[in-house]
Amino acid sequence: MLTRRFARCNDHVKITLFTAYCQSLYTGNLWTTYSQKSLSVLRVQYNNGFRVLLGLPRFCSASEMFAQSHTDGFFAVLRKKTASLLSRIRASPNSILKTVAERSN
Contacts of 20 (CB under 8 A, 6+ apart): none
User: Which residue did the predictor score with more confidence, 44 or 105?
Assistant: 44
Mean pLDDT over each residue of the chain, to the nearest integer: 86
Q: List pLDDT tens digits, range 18-67.
A: 888 888 887 776 777 788 898 899 999 999 999 999 989 988 999 999 99
Please tell me the predicted confidence (pLDDT) of residue 85.
Answer: 84
pLDDT at residue 100 above 70? yes
